[in-house]
Structure 1
Amino acid sequence: MTPDWFAVVDATWPAADSRTDGTLTLREGRGGGKRVSAASASGAVSEPQIEAAEAAMRQMGQPPLFQLRPGDEGLDAALAGRGYSIVDPVNIYACPVSQLTDLPMPRVTVFALWEPLAIMRELWAEGGIGPGRLAVMDRVKGPKTGLLMRHQDKPGGVAFVAIHDGVAMLHALEIPPHQRRKGLGKWAMRGAAFWALDNGAHTLSVICTKANEGANALYRSLGMQLVGEYHYRLLQEERQTA
């Protein structure tokens, strides 16, 4: 059975609060980024619904922001007509966990641990992943872990992984500039796969923006398949950081 990729995203990177009003789900992100702040639709959406959602998001201190999924063409057109622009088109990749557990892990390359160590929080902060996004990680209810990569006895990167319905999804992969181009991204994904296998997951998945050429190349090089995509619509005069 094909996983519900958007349910996996919501469970492994959850909003601070959410509520459904008819065919629209509104999310309160509290500084956790677009994924936890965007409204999404489960069916046709009327103009009055859009207007009510805009007012509700502003009341939450968030700019009006919608996540557009396959099948949302009508809402996409309506938002374009209201002056919304497309931001951050996203790819979803996945592969069987077994595909990335075929090679043994080198010693002391990837450590899986939760709660995050201070050095992990520092690495995330250097990559722009601050308290709002760390709070998202804390909210995850299911199995979860942080990954700390090391290279030549120095911190090499950090990531977060959580599981929903047999699917492990990796988020917040950050490798500092001086540790890039050393294969740590691949070992991060393999480390995530081993942790996922140990915790009962059958699939490993990850999301990244289409503009991130390095990340897309990494996931394709590992044989991960494109299984979904989406984009956001945001009012032009109210842009926020990714």
Structure 2
Amino acid sequence: MVPFSAAIERAAAATWPASTVQRADGWLLRHCELLRRKRSNSALPPEQGWSRGGVERVEEFYAARGAAVIIQVSPLDRHAQLDAALADRGYRLVSPTEVMFADAGQVSVACAAGEFDVRLEPRPSPSWLAAVEAVGGAPEPSLDRVPQPARFAIAERGGTPVGVGMFAGAAGWCGVYGMATHPDWRRRGVATALLRAGARWAAESGSRLFLQVEVDNPGARRLYAALGFRTAHRYHYRVR
């Protein structure tokens, strides 16, 4: 396992925090009624060790909120015993995901500028929200919880939005979120143009990049690997 795994998970939790965050027996318990995102509505296990009692307290936390019990088994290679125990308790496995990281400066060099103009905004302005909808996405309802420093990116061609993304920093890391390209412009370099702009911004503060991509999206994984991203770890969710 890459040593960065724990640091990345801490940064991921910090760059887009849930509305309710508690710690219990080393577990990070997250709940957000506004979002369906599993990361904002799941428990992250302790970095070292776990107990049956801890799992039961996780279950009590979500039961008290009328929410499904979701556990993010991460890093997966460190929590094999927990994963097996959850399976025995009837938890089903969903959304296997790969976490990748890269040097921001190297990514900015590897990404071609292309034929697109990319604008970075410090907050989710009306123009950025409109761009998300224009490329076929739906703005998350909890963007006000993304702390600074952050940048909201719009890629345009001839003044028309063709792609969007978000970059959020914490503790020397910069998370890449919400990358979306208009269907008519896919495979034409929009994503690399967005990453180039975000990576250059992250490099100014010396931050490394990280992102999360589902395992069943091999095209995106190949793109990120070609730009210098490497695998830090994998995780999946267990849902009761």
Structure 2 match to 1:180: 186
Query: Which among 202, 211, 219 is matched to residue 214 of structure 1?
Result: 219
Distance 1:104 1:53 in 2: 45
**SS of equivalent residue, structure 1 residue 101:** helix
- TM-score, normalised with respect to structure 2: 0.86
1:8 alignment partner in structure 2: 11
CA distance in 2, matches of 1:39, 1:13: 15
In the alignment, is the contact (CA less than 8 A) between 2:116 and 2:190 conserved in 1? Answer: no
- The one-letter code matched in structure 2 to 1:25 is L
**Are residue 34 (structure 1) and residue 51 (structure 2) matched?**
no
SS state at 1:163 partner: strand
Aligned to 1:112: 120
**Residues 1:99 and 1:38: Cα distance change in structure 2 (over 3 Å):** same
Residue in structure 1 matched with residue 140 of structure 2 by the alignment: 130
Please say if residues 44 and 74 of structure 1, whose CA atoms lie closer than 8 Å, have aligned partners that are also in contact.
no
1:95 has 2:95 as partner: no
- Conservation of the 8 A alpha-carbon contact between 1:8 and 1:167: yes
What is the DSSP-based 3-state SS (H/G/I as helix, E as strand, rest coil) of the residue aligned with 2:199? helix
Change (3 A) 1:2 1:74: closer
- Aligned-residue identity in percent: 27
1:228 CA drift (Å) = 1.8
Q: Which amino acid aligns with 2:190?
A: L
Residues 197-217 of structure 1: per-residue CA shift (max 9 Å, x gap): 23x033122111111222212
Structure 1, unpaired ranges of 5+:
236-242
> In the aligned structure 1, how far is the partner of 2:184 from the partner of 2:116?
19
Q: How big is the shift at 1:56?
A: 1.6
When the two structures are aligned, how many residues end up with a matched partner? 230
Distance 1:13 1:21 in 2: 20
The aligned counterpart of 1:239 is none
1:143 aligns with 2:149: yes
Whether contact under 8 Å (2:123, 2:150) holds in the other structure is no
Give the ranges of 4+ consecutive aligned residues of structure 1 lying more than 3 Å apart after TM superposition.
103-108, 122-126
**Which residue of structure 2 aligns with residue 240 of structure 1?**
none
Query: What SS does structure 1 have at the residue aligned with 2:198?
Result: helix
| 3-state DSSP of counterpart to 2:34 | coil
Instruction: Indicate conservation of the 8 Å contact 2:153/2:166, yes or no.
Output: yes
Aligned equivalent of 2:58, options 36, 39, 53: 53
In the superposition, the TM-score normalised over structure 1's length comes to 0.86
**Aligned pairs for 1:187-206 within 5 A:** 187-198=193-204, 200-206=205-211
The superposition leaves residues 174-195 of structure 1 with CA deviations (integer Å, 9 ceiling, x where unpaired) of: 1121221211011111111111
Matched, 1:161 2:167: yes
Give the aligned CA root-mean-square deviation in angstroms.
2.2
User: d(CA) in 1 for partners of 2:112 and 2:95?
Assistant: 35
